[in-house]
Amino acid sequence: MSTKKRDVIVFGISSSLSALLFFLAYLFTLKYRGTSHGISGNGNLGLMFIFPAIPIYIVALIYTYRTSRQLPLGPGMTKLSLIGLTLLIVACTYGEYAMINRLLHHLGGGTNDPNSVIYRYSFLNQYTNKLFFNAYTFMTGLSFASVIAFVLRKGQKIR
């Protein structure tokens, strides 16, 4: 099997598996339902999916980079891809920022605010997993890996 084919297969499997694990971590993040329901003492169920998601996502990032470097794009398509990826990164960053603000407002503040539901918790807890493991962070990471690959490839061609 050729290196290109293997890279594409590893990219597909690792990105699909990490997307599934990101989704499961997001799904198992508890939703705070208000003061009348209290807070959960059942622990952070999302950690079951977060720990395996991290190394698999790192593999997906590496193979996104490798696959992006091997794409046979002309200079016009490379520029267009860079513009599209940059717009995607900006949109995902804005979405992540809005999500963080909404959730912290809903929880009554951050981990150092005495009025907050998550006061004295670590920032990665059963209510905030989804701040770190969601579609925005997933797509931002993969997009950055592609941007780096395109920029470095373009830099090599100039020399």
Return the structure tokens found at 147. Answer: 């941007």
Rounded Cα–Cα distance for residues 159 and 153 (Å) = 10
Rounded Cα–Cα distance for residues 19 and 62 (Å) = 15
pLDDT at position 153 is 82
| Whole-number Cα distances in Å, 95 to 19, 54, 137 | 17, 21, 9
Sorted by where each begins, the domain ranges of the chain are: 3-158
Rounded Cα–Cα distance for residues 62 and 78 (Å) = 19
Candidates 150, 159, 155, 99; CA nearest to 129 is: 99
Rounded Cα–Cα distance for residues 84 and 147 (Å) = 10
Q: What is the pTM of this model?
A: 0.85
Q: What confidence category does residue 138 fall into, taking pLDDT thresholds of 50, 70 and 90?
A: very high
Query: Is the pLDDT at 35 greater than 60, yes or no?
Result: no
DSSP secondary structure code for residue 34 in this structure: -
pLDDT at position 159 is 44
